[in-house]
A and B are shown apart, each in its own frame.
Chain A
Amino acid sequence: MRTLEEAAPAVAPLQAVNDFVIRFANVNGSGSASANRLFARAILRMGVPATPRNIFPSNIQGLPTWYEIRVSEAGHLGARGGTDLLVQMNPQTWDADIRAIEPGGYLFYDSTKPLPASKFRDDITVIGMPLTEICNRTYTDSRQRQLFKNIIYVGALSALLDMDPVAIEDLLREQFRAKEKLIPPNLEALHLGRDYALAHLPCPIGLRVRPSEAVGDRVFLEGNAAAGLGAVYGGATVCAWYPITPSTSLAEGYMRFAARYRTDKETGKKRFASVQAEDELASIGMVIGASWNGARAFTATSGPGISLMQEFLGLAYFAEIPAVLFNVQRAGPSTGMPTRTQQCDILVCAQASHGDTRHVLLFPEDPHECFTMGALAFDLAERLQTPIFVMLDLDIGMNERLCAPLAWDDSKRMDRGKVMTAAELEAGRDFGRYLDVDGDGIPYRTYPGTHATRGSFFTRGTSRDRYARYTEDGAAYQDNMERLLVKFDTAKQLVPPAIRRDAAQPTRLGAIYYGSTAAPMDEAVELLAARGIHLDLLRVRAYPFGAEVLDFIEGHDTIFVVEQNRDAQLRQLLIAESETNPKRLVRVLHYDGSPITARIIAAAIWNDAAPARSVAQPEAVK
């Protein structure tokens, strides 16, 4: 085993307070995720923003998995790239993980078995702790040896990073509130690791966590759970879904919250129904059936599910049936990388199904917006009588993220859209299911069972006239398709507008981005501004694009469109809608399955924009 003294780094060890990246390399199924999460939450409890990312394989047990925590008092929540402290618990990925450590960084590893010097680097600080040996000495049960090893290294890290263990102790007590007998052994394991580190390791190292107030009143949750909660607040009563990573926890989140808030206390009966369908075709079929019948219904899925739903989505568009789809995007096509993040379903959702279709998309940036857009989607679906896609991705869906507290206005009521009532029908009001009476392209509908003799209609994917009567008359078909375009125009006024943030000084450069790219974009623009590249920003929150998006494109010479897919999918939509010269929209793409980082964005924009300005390459931009 090499000691710290023997491995004196060739470059100065990193020194940072509340600003570094820890990466845990673990084996899937070893119980590491909950220990790592405990550690991340302890940092948050100390008031320091910390953003964890679980990078996991499509596997239940045995394959490599990583857990990364970005600690950033400045509040940068996007992935940064690079590792300052590697907690290496998985020999399988040793070499590649060691290579990714920043010069001057730190390696913490299980030193029970000696490793040759060639396995280390001389420009990092190496900290060995015989974790397996300690566990084998302390515990006899093999499962305990495994699980407590994780808690022991959390204890050691608390000492190395100069953290008060109180936050971890509190979290352990909260976690095991229902299983109290687990609290003492966990606390013992924590202090076993901490005490060993204080006695034998060079505590603290150059990376420190110091109490702060930077977290404020923000909350910490997964986008999927937030979207599921949004569906509860949005009044969804029917959920139909099929298990698929990374969307499963969204439906499960809905069920958990609905069971809590929608169970009748007297009868125990539920004010919701959730059906695990046999496939995604059935999921969307049920959503369409329920919405047609006046319930608020949704499904949660990912790319392959969207592909299977295509025919039904054309029906919903053409027959004008509300539907809400949460698409938690992952790398495709086909199974692709099912546990890695991308924004790769923009086009397939915007133009889902055969024939001429256009669909409304919402792009939440974080769990807070997953909640608000999750609720809003149901109002939009019923107001517009069309499918609404809430486009999450794995990065915000399956990772907990710090965000503004969830908020709700109690005076708000569901917008059920244009629904003709029995009283209106009785009064003789003219009802044409596909009749545009208000000029906004949105017709009235009736729920089945409303009136004994008036207001019934036949819903079909086949062409029909304004009174829903079957017809193959070309003019009637075209009339209907034109009205659907009017309706799509109306949608532009109803969806959340893009948010513009101008640079501190006038610039002809702009950047358009959306969804989970928001956090790294915020950081990238700071990196670039510090080096003289100034960008006006536009965060697109919905499709169709409002006038503000087209104005932004008009108002800049060069617009960088930052996306997490190969084909620059949003850029294609922007070009189609704005009819601008495509050369003005510069692709900034990242699609290897890892979340896009500020460094990647800044480097790409720098490389494109800097030559014209002859400014030196910034140090922080690699």
Chain B
Amino acid sequence: MKADKNKYQSRRDFVKTAGKLIIVAPLVIIPVFLAKKTSVKGYVWQIDPLKCTQCGQCKTNCVLTPSASKCVHAYRMCGYCDLCGGYLRQGVKTISTGAENQMCPTGAIKRKFVEEPYFEYTIDEKLCDGCAKCVKGCGDFGNGSLYMQIRHDICVNCNDCSIARTCPSNAISRIPASIAYIPKDKR
């Protein structure tokens, strides 16, 4: 009998304890979860390359000069073309590295012969001012392997990002800092 009573009490205690836990747990977990979610440190601004329309406002609207928004290259998508719409201006008569033929106003895209007929394109981010002209050219005429991203080693992560505020396609939003970038070739 004694054993049965203890057993009964033990079950009752268990249910009571479980009930308390069920009530208390959300009170602890939800604030922690929300606090983590709203933490400024946990989120960074980033451009969704599929929404970006290469309007050029990243260059002028960032609080930094030059902009923290840079062109990056998805090598796996690149066609390594000789006639590259991201590197060369529209309507060039000769394909060469002459400044008059280049799309990039600052010469931030470097081109290197690999083997006939392929050329490799790399971005010198120090020179890139985020104008996105190359991104538009690559998207219009090539595989779209050039795209814009906000570089977090430069970005000061403003509470109200001035590029995001004016982006006409709402391509800029906060994403978890653990993700940080939206690579176009890994989606």
Say if A and B assemble together.
no
Residues of B within 8 A of A (CB): none
Residues of A within 8 A of B (CB): none
